[in-house]
Amino acid sequence: MKVFEALKWASSCLKEAQRDENAGEMLLLHHLGMTRTYLLASLQEEVPTEIMQKFQHDVKKHVAGIPVQYLIGSEEFYGRTFQVNQEVLIPRPETEELVLGLIDRMKQKFGHAPIQAVDIGTGSGAIGVTLALEVPTIKMTCTDIAEESLAIAKENAKRLGAKVQFLHGDLLKPFIEASQRFDVVVSNPPYIPDSDELSTVVKDYEPNRALFGGQDGLNFYRRFMEELPLVINKQGIIAFEVGFGQADAVSDMLKKQFPNAKVEVVFDINGKDRMVFASL
């Protein structure tokens, strides 16, 4: 089968199953080890039989619901490739916007001064590793409740050359116990309400511990409000990703806990309220 025929076959299968038709191209690029430019220049080339079999197998797996990123083992985030598996959430574009917004605010507040920062619930390490690579003055710590997630984050940090300290623990408890404080606390915690209906691609394959945040999705933010005063420095920054429609509730929590803070709700590129920043 030629490249264009393989793509056409995959597109037809995926369309019929109501999956993203672009997944076929992503999988074929992965199995052929090509760039997209080279692939488009090779549409009339034959796909080797062994590669075709692996490609067809993965297309069928995606039809069954397995995310493409887990099949190829990686996802792009902030211009870098992060390894992922079913122990971590797949990094998403809106989280890139959280990172960008946080970097801008850190520059404004701290300039070139050293920054102690922590990424809570790091998962693949996308946020913490990116901050460590993008901000020269930062001393980055990442924590997660799941050792399996930390293993992936550590591998990503090592492969990308990021200096990050990793710690196993439940939210801010390890730092409260150690009387350790930070200039920056950032988190993309589980925020999906327990009752929400998710696509099978997400619900059946991404780790539920990283998705669901209680009946209204706000349980982890409530815990943060209790623990943050014991960890954040007086001139600190708090940065959260939130679910669509949750920003006002999280903003109100921060204002109540930190009355003198400048609290901002920021909308993503799709016009959804997905980020909340507090500058103390």
Query: What CATH number should be reported for the domain holding residue 108?
Result: 3.40.50.150
What is the span of the domain harbouring residue 23? 3-64
Is residue 174 marked as binding?
no
Is residue 121 marked as binding?
yes
Is residue 200 marked as binding?
no
| Per-residue pLDDT, 101 | 97
What is the total count of domains within the chain?
A: 2
pTM, rounded to two decimals: 0.88
pLDDT band at 183 (very low <50, low <70, confident <90, very high): very high
Is residue 216 marked as binding?
no
User: Tokens for 39?
Assistant: 């692939």
Rounded Cα distance between 58 and 19, Å, is: 13
| Per-residue pLDDT, 202 | 52
Domain match, 108 and 40 both: no
Is residue 149 marked as binding?
no
For residue range 115-153, list pLDDT tens digits in order: 999 999 999 999 999 999 999 999 999 999 999 999 999
Rounded Cα distance between 127 and 95, Å, is: 8
Whether 69 maps to a domain, the answer reads: no
Q: What are residue 115's phi and psi, to 5 degrees?
A: -125, 125
Domain match, 150 and 102 both: yes
User: Tokens for 147?
Assistant: 């050792």
Whether 237 maps to a domain, the answer reads: yes
Q: From the CB of residue 114, how many other CB atoms can be counted at a distance below 10 Å?
A: 10
| Per-residue pLDDT, 37 | 95
Taking all residues of the chain, what is their mean pLDDT, rounded to a whole number? 91
Evaluate if residue 194 carries a pLDDT over 70: no
Q: From the CB of residue 91, how many other CB atoms can be counted at a distance below 10 Å?
A: 25
> What is the mean pLDDT of the segment spanning 29-41?
93
| Per-residue pLDDT, 86 | 87
Is residue 130 marked as binding?
no
For residue range 206-219, list pLDDT tens digits in order: 555 545 556 677 88
Is residue 124 marked as binding?
yes
Is residue 122 marked as binding?
yes
The percent of residues in the chain predicted with pLDDT above 90, rounded, is 81
| Per-residue pLDDT, 216 | 74
Domain match, 56 and 104 both: no
| Per-residue pLDDT, 195 | 61
Domain match, 29 and 135 both: no
